[in-house]
Every structure is written in C-alpha cells, then in structure tokens.
C-alpha cells in the first residue's frame, strides 16, 4: 500500500521506512513533553506526507505549523470546552439536588452545544487544511467561517437519527455537500452534488441482515443452546463490522464521486474489503505494539486515501491564480479539543 497505481492522477511515493524516524522521534518528544509536542508532531508528519504526494506529477506542500495547531487548541478549550464542561457539571449538580427538569434542560444544552461545536470544528478543519495545502504555489480555503454549517450540522445530525436512522444517509451526504460547496482551490470553487439514494438502499440491506441475525439469536436462546448463541453472537459482531464497513465505503465512493473542481471530477475506488482491511490492520498494529503504533496511523490512513483517490478531466493551469480567501490564523483546534473527525 505504499505506492499508488502508475496511471493514477494522484501518487503517494512515501514509504514506512522513511516515515519511521519521523514517527519514533515524534513519539519520544511527545512522551518527554507529556503530549504537548503532538501539535508539532502533526505538522511534521503532514510536511512529509504532503511532500511525498503528487498530483499529475507535481508534489503537494504543507505550510501549516505546530504553533498554529497549538494556539487553535488552546482557544478552542477556552472558548468552547470550558463552557461545555461547566454545563455538564451544572447538570450533575442539579440531579444531586433533585432538580431533574432543570438537569434535563442543561443536558439538552450540552448535547446541542457539542453537536454545534463538532460541526464548526469539521468545517474549520477542512478550511484550515485547504489553506495550508499548496500545489504549484496555489492554495485553497474558504471565506465562510463555518458558523452556518455548525447550525446545519446540529439539526441535520438530529434529523439523521429519526425513523430508526433512515435519515442518516441524507444527513451524511447533505452535510458533505454543504461543507465542500463552501470551499475553493485557487480561483475555483468545489462543486459537491452527491446523491444519497444508493446509500439508503445499502442501509436497508444492513438493517435486514441485522434483523435476521438478531431473530436467529433469540430463537437459539429460546431453544436453550448457549454454545450456539455464543457462536451466533460472535458471528453477529463480525457481520456488524462488515455492514459498517460496506456502508462507509459506499458513502466515501458516493460523496467523493460527486465532487468536482472546475473541469476535474474526483472518484474514490475503495471497496468494503479495502476499508475492512485498513481498520483491522490498525487494530492489529495497536494491539501488537501495546498502543504505541498509533504514531503510524496517520501514514496508513493518508496512504490508503491517496491510493484510492482518482481524478478525471483537464487541469487548466493558465486559469490557476492564487486564492483570495482569508487565511485562518489558527489551526484545527476544535478537532483536537473535542476529538471529532475532519472528513
């Protein structure tokens, strides 16, 4: 998984042997600084990964710094983290005093606040990463701050859980489209128009398989066959894992396949087997190294993503001028503070 296909527009030419000294040095420095160096470690990793990634023969460049990420984290904790923690403590205090109604109100406020911050963090992380990614000296970005997206993420995430989660495909695809439609690279805006219909069908299939498996478990339990129930439960866990990976793999193919930039269309080729192999490989790496192998996860995930990322169409170099979008001064602190994913 170290090199992309020869005919792919995207190529990753890094190797784990090159990355290992960076990973182990970062690990030692993070241990020595009680984790504070992780922001500089992340910037160092990205400089290597971006520099080993090429689009139609020309490498990417990462210009972000550890200081930006660290300051962004501190600001996120001060502005969002502390208020949310205080709301949570207030809810617990009200419960102990018997004010259950008020405690529920504070609980809802915490949930809504966390969802809003999570959405805001995802948007601003993508905006920051595009602004620090350069190709031919051109960067990306967005003039949007992510405030509106935060509210959209809040209510669409709640709606996604309705009707036993059947609205989830719409929620995931729509939020992906909304986020990328606010982004640009150079003078060109991204156009995201993925459809969610196929994802709904996949979710229904997953539900049907899960329902049959659960019914089988209850039937065996009623027949007093404990060993058979254990085997079926183990099988159910494996089936659940397979269903989640097949659902998420299709989501990535649909979402990225609906993305375009000027005269370039993007695609993603990873199948369920590829995603499952990545996740299981991560687990084996973490278990086999007693958790220390986490320093290689960024390399594995980036290599996987670039290996399966495709681009079709024509790049008009003559139209590429520098982006005029505002460059954020801080890094993706909300992601670090609240541990939510960017993609």
The residues that bridge with 4 in the sheet, in sequence order, are none
Residue 192 near residue 149 (C-beta atoms within 8 A): no
CA atoms within 13 A on the CB side of 55: 20
Which secondary structure element, helix H or strand E, spans residue 121, and what is its range? helix 100-131
Q: Which residues contact 112 (CB under 8 A, 6 or more apart)?
A: 154
Cα–Cα distance, 11 to 52 (Å, whole number):
8
How do the domains of the chain map onto residue ranges? 10-338
Per-residue pLDDT reduced to its tens digit, 91-125: 888 788 887 888 888 888 888 998 998 999 999 99
% of the chain beyond a pLDDT of 90: 62
Per-residue pLDDT reduced to its tens digit, 292-302: 999 999 999 99
Angle, in degrees to the nearest 10, between helices 38-51 and 16-32: 170
% of the chain beyond a pLDDT of 70: 92
Q: From 215, 222, 250, select the one nearest 236 (Cα to Cα).
A: 215
Cα–Cα distance, 202 to 24 (Å, whole number):
41
Cα–Cα distance, 108 to 280 (Å, whole number):
35
Predicted confidence (pLDDT) at residue 340 exceeds the cutoff of 50: no
Position 2 scores a pLDDT of 42
Residue 120 near residue 150 (C-beta atoms within 8 A): yes
86 compared with 336, residue with greater pLDDT: 86
Position 327 scores a pLDDT of 84
Taking the CA atoms of residue 320, residue 323, residue 324 and residue 326 in that order, the dihedral angle to the nearest 10 degrees is 180
Q: Is 166 exposed, middle or buried (0-12, 13-18, 19+ CB in 10 A)?
A: middle
Predicted confidence (pLDDT) at residue 7 exceeds the cutoff of 70: no
Please compute the mean of the pLDDT values over residues 279-297 and round it to a whole number. Answer: 94
């Amino acid at each position: 998984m170290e090199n992309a296909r020869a005919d792919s527009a995207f190529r990753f030419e890094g190797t784990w042997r090159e990355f290992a000294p960076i990973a182990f040095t970062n690990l030692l420095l993070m241990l020595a600084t009680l984790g504070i160096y992780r922001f500089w470690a992340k910037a160092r990793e990205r400089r290597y990964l971006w520099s080993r990634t090429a689009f139609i023969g020309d490498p990417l460049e990462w210009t972000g710094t550890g200081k930006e990420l660290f300051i962004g984290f501190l600001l996120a904790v001060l502005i969002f983290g502390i208020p949310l923690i205080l709301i949570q403590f207030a809810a617990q205090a009200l419960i102990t005093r018997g004010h259950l109604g008020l405690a529920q109100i504070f609980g809802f406020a915490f949930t809504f606040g966390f969802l809003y911050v999570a959405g805001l963090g995802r948007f601003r992380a993508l905006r920051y990463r595009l602004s620090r990614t350069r190709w031919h000296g051109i960067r990306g970005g967005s003039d949007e701050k992510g405030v509106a997206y935060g509210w959209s993420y809040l209510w669409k995430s709640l709606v996604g859980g309705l009707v036993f989660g059947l609205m989830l495909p719409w929620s995931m695809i729509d939020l992906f489209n909304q986020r990328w439609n606010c982004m640009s690279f150079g003078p060109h805006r991204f156009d995201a128009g993925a459809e969610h219909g196929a994802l709904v069908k996949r979710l229904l299939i997953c539900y049907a398989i899960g329902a049959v498996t659960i019914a089988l478990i209850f039937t065996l339990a009623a027949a007093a066959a404990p060993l058979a129930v254990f085997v079926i439960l183990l099988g159910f866990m494996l089936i659940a894992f397979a269903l989640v990976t097949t659902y998420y793999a299709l989501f990535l193919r649909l979402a990225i396949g609906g993305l375009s930039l000027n005269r370039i269309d993007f695609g993603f080729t990873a199948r369920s087997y590829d995603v499952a192999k990545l996740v299981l490989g991560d687990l084996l790496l973490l278990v086999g190294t007693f958790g220390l192998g986490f320093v290689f996860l960024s390399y594995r995930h980036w290599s996987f993503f670039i290996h399966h990322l495709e681009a079709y169409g024509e790049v008009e170099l003559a139209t590429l001028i520098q982006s005029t979008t505002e460059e954020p001064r801080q890094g993706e602190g909300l992601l670090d503070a609240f541990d939510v994913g960017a993609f």
